[in-house]
Amino acid sequence: MHSILLVDDNEQLINTLKFRLEGLLIDEAIEVKTWIPTSDVDNPKEYFHSIIDENTILVITDYDLTTQGQTGLFGSSVVDWCQSRGIPVGDFSRGNPGNLPKEPNLFELRIPTQGDLAGPYIANIATGFRDIRKAIEENSADLIKKRSPPAVLAAILGVANMESQFSLYGMRLGATNAALVEKIVRTAPSDIEPSEKEKRDILSYIVSHLLLNAVLKYSGPILSQRALTAYLGVDKSEFETIDRLFLASAYKGPFSGIEKFYWLDKVDAILDEYASNMQDELKAETQGELNRLILVHKEQRNFVLHSCNRCGGINGGFLCTFTDRTVCQKADCSVGSNSWIPQGARLCRIERDFYEEWAPILGI
Amino acid sequence: MDRNTQTILQKLVNQWDEVKATLEKMRGSSIVEPADGYALFAPTGKKFDNAVEFELSPVVFNLPERADDIRVELYIVVRGRLIVEFDESKKFLITRGFQTEAAYFRSTKTGLDHVYGAHYDFAVDELGHPSFHAQMKSFSDFSEYISKYFGDFNEVEDRVAGILKTVRLPTAQMDFFSFFLQIFADHLLHKESGPEEKLAFNILLENNSFLRGAAHQIARLTSEAASVCYRASHWYPII
């Protein structure tokens, strides 16, 4: 049976989260285990490795683990231990949210701490990791022959023609995880052969993070709900209507429970369909405006404009990943960057004002 | 921009993504700048029935001169125009016209040597013009784009200056996407290339079929004789 391990030094909080998760995962056959680090344990690293096994699909750790006598033990150590084993790990800091940066590294997950978001988020990513692992196990003969993690991801999602688009998210993503590189380099001597299972586990670890922390995070072939409203040049408050209009383009693969996602090619096909019966030829300066005009025609009403102070919300089509504001491709509005945004994230740009503040660090 | 233009633009950006992905697969140390497809392809506003003209802003490839070379010291600047429309199925684009300009520079200890330059063009029925042709010429001033993306190069030696410009070499249709294929074939493939590089190139070849050629507009090229005989005589109009 697959399992999740929760690590926290606050008994009440860990038990509340465990109870919540067990309720959410009742039909998923995923066990929820806990570890409260106390001074009784002499070697926390050894103890940690003794309570996880090959069925551990996810570890969630609090940042500060010191209050029960394990002085010096922080979530960052647990993150390192997990990365060295190729086990997905999420961390959070409930006591002092400022202890951790908002954005994690590629092979780390940041668990939301606001309200009751943690439980559903953890449940969703756990099932996502489990599903990808199962897909690779069940089709390992075919998938292991693929050329790269993006090719495997494209096959799992049933969109083989999108391999190139996914590959633009992370041709060198494996190399960003030192522990992973070490794990692989260990097998370099000719007398050490990695087992099929070892290869499968590393592959599912990389593919899962590629999907969750790159493809779904930076909108390109798959759009987040926020990016969809930006693409359509409407305010995010219009999301309910947008969701109804683009329901047929919904992404239903692994991690789709985190929030709503949409396939860009299907969104475009729906826009084509809505535009096909228009009598007058539409013209607009930017993609966002053109897309919105199609929706105005479809719904026979005006949409709330987004809040750009340069164009008054008329343009759009892209999303600034730093400011979370809708931008357009005009040079005075945004810049494309290839060093801070994955190349595959074609709908993500950097708002010009923000870019100027940080140039040349954000330079292209 | 209208819906037709927008949809064609998406197709061009998609194919540009394929080009970038292939470059990365065939030679990780090669670079192309700028990468943003939406910034590269700009509709010029000129329309020809349903066909739309796009301009390709200059892109700079940094590649090895030969695929088995460990040094990556060649810069190729490409700029162009493409007039395209959708076919009836709306799956493929059809070429109505194109122009491509390419400039090659070799980096040296002191700067850059401009070592090759050519303009690729298309003429339906023009006196003495092969339908698809290239003319060599100097594009020394294209070095400014290399400086823009790869840093300043103090000196540019123009080794193409003075070359005879009136030679029109009959060629294949060298629109800019065809030209990218040529770049990859010339500089990223060699006899010892591995299966991964060959496969990446094959996939790009296959994907390149998203754009159909302009020959459909020229009766002499669509005749049976021309389709089995590729001699240059079919390339010239009979006046």
Nearest CA to CA, how far is B171 from chain A (Å)?
29
- A283 and B1 in contact by Cβ < 8 A? yes
How many residues are there in chain B?
A: 239
Per-residue model confidence as pLDDT tens digits over A41-90: 889 999 999 999 989 999 999 998 988 888 888 989 999 999 888 899 99
Is the Cβ pair B196, A165 closer than 8 Å? no
Q: How far apart are CA B209 and CA B205, in angstroms?
A: 7
Q: What is the pLDDT of residue A276?
A: 87
> The whole model's pTM is what?
0.87
The larger pLDDT score, comparing residue A38 to residue A295, is at A295
A336 in reach of chain B (CB within 8 A): yes
State the sign of the Cα–Cα–Cα–Cα dihedral A231, A232, A238, A241: negative
A164, B3: Cβ pair inside 8 Å? Answer: no
Instruction: Judge: B34–A338 Cβ closer than 8 Å, yes or no.
Output: yes
Closest CB from A147, A275, A336 relative to B199: A147
Instruction: Render the burial of B64-87: b for 16+ CB within 10 Å, e for the rest.
Output: beebeeeebebbbbbbbbbbbbbe
Confidence band of A171 (pLDDT split at 50, 70, 90): low
pLDDT at B166: 92
Report pLDDT for B186.
96
Position with higher pLDDT, A174 vs A336? A336
Domain count, chain B: 1
Looking at residue B177, its pLDDT comes to 97
What residue spans of chain B are helical by DSSP H?
A: 3-26, 37-40, 143-150, 176-188, 195-207, 219-222, 224-228
Does the beta carbon of A281 lie under 8 angstroms from any beta carbon of chain B? yes
Residue-level pLDDT at A360? 72
| Mean pLDDT of the A288-308 span | 94
**Boundaries of every domain in chain A:** 1-215, 222-358
Residue bearing the bigger pLDDT, A179 or A336: A336
Beta bridge partners of A92: A62
CA distance A88 to chain B (A): 27
Q: Which of A172, A282, A286 sits opposite B3 (nearest CB)?
A: A282
A188, pLDDT greater than 80: no
Selected residues 118-157 of chain B with any CB under 8 Å from a CB in chain A:
none
The answer to whether the beta carbons of residues A195 and A319 sit under 8 Å apart is no
> Smallest Cβ distance to B24: which of A167, A271, A284?
A167
Mean pLDDT lowest among A164-173, A245-254, B25-34: A164-173
- Show the CA angle centred on residue B150, arms to residues B148 and B151, nearest 5°: 75
Here the ipTM equals 0.80
Contacts of B28 in chain A (CB under 8 A): 171-172
* C-alpha to C-alpha distance for B73 and A188, rounded to whole angstroms: 32
Decide if B28 touches A, using CB distance below 8 A. Answer: yes
Distance from CA of A164 to the nearest CA of B (A): 6
pLDDT in tens, B106-132: 999 889 999 999 999 999 989 999 999
pLDDT at A101 (0 to 100): 60
Mean pLDDT of A171-199: 74
Q: Which residue has the higher pLDDT, B53 or A105?
A: B53
Structural domain containing residue B74: 3-235
As a whole-number percent, the residues of chain A with pLDDT over 90 amount to 57
Question: Three-state DSSP class for A169?
Answer: coil
Q: Is the pLDDT of residue A169 over 80?
A: yes
Answer for the pair B34, B149: CB distance below 8 angstroms, yes or no. Answer: yes
- The alpha-carbon gap from B168 to the nearest alpha carbon of chain A, in Å, equals 36
- Given CB atoms, is A284 within the 8 Å cutoff of chain B? yes
d(CA A190, CA B186): 35
Q: How far apart are CA A291 and CA A316, in angstroms?
A: 9
Question: Which of B3, B11, B31, B199 is the best mutation test for A, with the most CBs of A within 10 A?
Answer: B3
Closest listed residue to residue A259, CA positions, set A219, A287, A295: A219
Residue A314 forms contact with B (CB below 8 Å): no
Contacts A329 to B, Cβ<8 Å: 38-39
| Radius of gyration (C-alpha) of chain B in whole angstroms | 18
A171 contacts in B (CB within 8 Å)? 24-25, 28
Q: How far is CA A87 from CA A3, A83, A118, B83, in A?
A: 11, 6, 19, 51
A36: Cα within 13 Å, side-chain hemisphere: 12
Residue A5 contacts residue A60 (beta carbons within 8 Å): yes
- The yes-or-no verdict on residue A100 having pLDDT over 60 is no
Residue of B13 and A108 predicted with greater confidence: B13
A1-215: in CATH 3.20.20.140: no
Q: Is B35 on the interface with A (CB under 8 A)?
A: yes
Q: Is the pLDDT of residue B43 over 80?
A: yes
Q: Which residues share a beta bridge with B103?
A: B77, B117
> Using only C-alpha atoms, what is the Rg of chain A?
22
